[in-house]
Structure 1
């Protein structure tokens, strides 16, 4: 009789939150499912799209990020009371394994793939350890996620072509978790996976599809050309930096390969803030040339530009909100994602703010749920928490009303002739603005 394995992605909460705006599967759970030997009956459950029924299992593995950590611990404790062993992994618990160990049987630190087989063997021998520390794996001959186990409710699937980041930004956990060595999958391997992907829409989940350096950019172009040559007819999006528009060949072949949206990290319109968060690519392009970046991407027919902005850096003053509003409307980016700077555990930002006595959160793990980019969880340097929260809300009000969203969508269609992109932009603006107003209120921190 096969043993039953539940792979669970807990929700941040049952209340509306930005994570539910576009729900995508947890690729880490898909990879673990692919690495699980045949003697297991596997089920992937995502609380963001379905209720957990806490069904019987032999082993439960849970993935975490910071804002769902309290719920992950709660889920683990429910199963443990039923006598079922639990394993937990992910970025958050890799930063705080001692915290996680209070609520689970086993903690996996780092990328779980390299130790997953050992975890299962030890479980079968009833010798599962309290902690496993993984090594960074080569992405050569990487298994494909078990997409057959994903729910039909997901709007998008994801494909990963690289991991790691050589940069060391103060606020970021990518290098801490995935390492500072930039690792890439072979292009042919990625193309093979894309041919098998059972969806017409997907997202490259890499932090930057162009990677780092000229060779990585050339690899991205080979990938795009390979998609064209193999006749892979899918629409897709990706995360990019502001240098995405530097090379006309990148834009040309990305569009030919089916690129219909880019999530681009403008980060800030304040050059002092860009220096603060060490965004050298953005500084090299220059804030004054951001509009040119948007124009070049639209000129190549890529119809959905999602601009990302982080608010609340130490060099931000209240005028940053109006400047951001003006840029969003004047640059013709199709939709914007505004995030309040969040101090994640393990980062230098968290340690600095803690040392300076500026953190507003004091009760952990309870308060981790608030790190969802919509809450002010520290004392800003040049404005009050209320000014920061209300400033971001005002940008959303000024850029996502029904009339303004419609005007922006019409402009997008005129510029790119991408009707689907314009429709997505309209509903994206309306949804993100409405949801922000629901979730971004002041937090009653339990100090």
Structure 2
């Protein structure tokens, strides 16, 4: 469908939508809306929209609000992850049937642009700092292109980039609006990770002064001093990380972020993190099975004693959300209980479990497809809570049931007490978070029920490669 030049006699109506995700697949969802932190994608796109053009912008996060049946728009953009792709395509087809042009972007579109093209008038592939303003200008001029790709020499060093327009959402709808991004990408090449496939391994960095200015203006506007950094690996570049943490110290903020376990080899860095206000880290611990670390491309994790690292971070006042994945090729039915016991013994403040998910186009997906182990291409099941491939050393049912059992066991009341006792952490926030995850653990599989009858689930592959 082709669209002519947009009339300048009125404001253009631009609607940006984040489609409903897995936790909200069924009526009511698993969590109340206010337990989610505010994402950055839509507020960043709103900020990048040219201010010299007459444009009225509406943001809709379908996880917290319904899309009006009578929605009026001149252009609709949807950001798509794999788990929301079917919903995004459904919405896109409905809007286009009404004569509204639709553009699609996000990780899934970047991974599978050929698939997404069948549901859109235009695609935004990769990051959008350069392409988004051009796309909007082209649309208004009646010259919308089929695809926009960010230039390979793109970086985030431009200090004139606008800050995300967080105020466009109602802050009461989210646990927090204080979400920031200093860097993008990660230098590692984990087999299951989407980032290297979608965006490469080159790390992009905002200037430290830009980040500090963004935080300052947010604190001045809201009075909030607890922040979340959503960077995949905030300490990938040690030199940059030290500059950032040093600059954070005068702000007297408290922050939470993500890191690899390799910080265990740099006590100076961990100490600086604590001084800068770090109160919590998400660590990709992944597995207790050494062979599975090699499977995942995270063999470097084996150089770290998890219990010692967590003990050191606790002494520095940093709580841990430890993330584990089940279903790697060396995992067996014994892996679930072994993982739970490690989490208790190490005093992990907030353990989290997921099922290995071969996201499309990743090395893991390509390998499993070659081995004929992909069981479904229903992207709505690619949410890290469904089994969508044939495990190697257990059945699909054993992986599903072991995953559910681990969740429920780790969040039994006695095990919550044991973990927090070992962590020496009985802060109200830790207790509240654990009770919230206990609710999650006991309700998760009401929302993530697999539709395959047991008798139709594939059995374990007989030939096991070393």
The TM-score with structure 2 as length reference comes to 0.87
Task: Find the counterpart in structure 2 of residue 307 from structure 1.
Answer: 322
Task: Find the counterpart in structure 2 of residue 383 from structure 1.
Answer: 394
Task: Find the counterpart in structure 1 of residue 7 from structure 2.
Answer: none
The whole-number CA distance in structure 1 between the counterparts of 2:116 and 2:94 is 15
The whole-number CA distance in structure 2 between the counterparts of 1:227 and 1:98 is 43
Closer, same or farther: CA 88–390 of 1 in aligned 2, 3 Å: same
Task: Find the counterpart in structure 1 of residue 156 from structure 2.
Answer: 139
1:406-446 Cα distance to aligned partner (Å, 9 max, x none): 4544554xx24x62432233224313312323234323399
Task: Find the counterpart in structure 1 of residue 462 from structure 2.
Answer: none
Residue 130 (1) aligns with residue 146 (2): yes
The whole-number CA distance in structure 1 between the counterparts of 2:179 and 2:106 is 17
- Could you tell me whether the CA contact under 8 Å between 2:34 and 2:174 is conserved in 1? no
- Which among 87, 99, 106 is matched to residue 122 of structure 2? 106
- Could you tell me whether the CA contact under 8 Å between 1:110 and 1:135 is conserved in 2? no
- Which among 37, 41, 46 is matched to residue 33 of structure 1? 46
Task: Find the counterpart in structure 2 of residue 429 from structure 1.
Answer: 437
1:73-122 Cα distance to aligned partner (Å, 9 max, x none): 11112221222111110110111112111112111111122211121111
Task: Find the counterpart in structure 1 of residue 294 from structure 2.
Answer: 275
Task: Find the counterpart in structure 1 of residue 93 from structure 2.
Answer: 77
- Could you tell me whether the CA contact under 8 Å between 2:229 and 2:258 is conserved in 1? yes
The whole-number CA distance in structure 1 between the counterparts of 2:244 and 2:330 is 39
Task: Find the counterpart in structure 2 of residue 336 from structure 1.
Answer: 351
Task: Find the counterpart in structure 1 of residue 366 from structure 2.
Answer: 351
Task: Find the counterpart in structure 2 of residue 241 from structure 1.
Answer: 260
- Could you tell me whether the CA contact under 8 Å between 1:312 and 1:341 is conserved in 2? yes
- Which among 292, 303, 311 is matched to residue 284 of structure 1? 303
Alignment map for 1:314-329 (pairs within 5 Å) = 314-329=329-344
Q: CA RMSD in A?
A: 2.2
The whole-number CA distance in structure 2 between the counterparts of 1:240 and 1:323 is 23
Pairwise CA distance, 1:383? 0.3
The whole-number CA distance in structure 1 between the counterparts of 2:418 and 2:290 is 30
The whole-number CA distance in structure 1 between the counterparts of 2:428 and 2:246 is 24
- Could you tell me whether the CA contact under 8 Å between 1:62 and 1:72 is conserved in 2? yes
Structure 2 unaligned regions, length at least 5: 1-9, 458-466
- Which among 40, 53, 62 is matched to residue 47 of structure 1? 62
Alignment map for 1:391-430 (pairs within 5 Å) = 391-409=402-420, 411-412=422-423, 415-416=424-425, 419-430=427-438
Closer, same or farther: CA 423–233 of 1 in aligned 2, 3 Å: farther
The whole-number CA distance in structure 1 between the counterparts of 2:90 and 2:199 is 26
- Could you tell me whether the CA contact under 8 Å between 2:345 and 2:422 is conserved in 1? no
Task: Find the counterpart in structure 2 of residue 8 from structure 1.
Answer: 17
Closer, same or farther: CA 78–19 of 1 in aligned 2, 3 Å: farther
Closer, same or farther: CA 402–440 of 1 in aligned 2, 3 Å: farther
Task: Find the counterpart in structure 2 of residue 443 from structure 1.
Answer: 451
The count of residues paired between Structure 1 and Structure 2 equals 430
Closer, same or farther: CA 270–437 of 1 in aligned 2, 3 Å: same
Task: Find the counterpart in structure 1 of residue 269 from structure 2.
Answer: 250
For 2:313, what is the secondary structure of its paired residue? helix
For 1:324, what is the secondary structure of its paired residue? helix
- Could you tell me whether the CA contact under 8 Å between 1:260 and 1:421 is conserved in 2? no
Closer, same or farther: CA 390–163 of 1 in aligned 2, 3 Å: same
Pairwise CA distance, 1:388? 0.6
- Which among 230, 238, 254 is matched to residue 205 of structure 1? 230
- Could you tell me whether the CA contact under 8 Å between 1:111 and 1:177 is conserved in 2? no
Alignment map for 1:165-244 (pairs within 5 Å) = 165-197=186-218, 198=222, 199-211=224-236, 216-229=237-250, 232-244=251-263
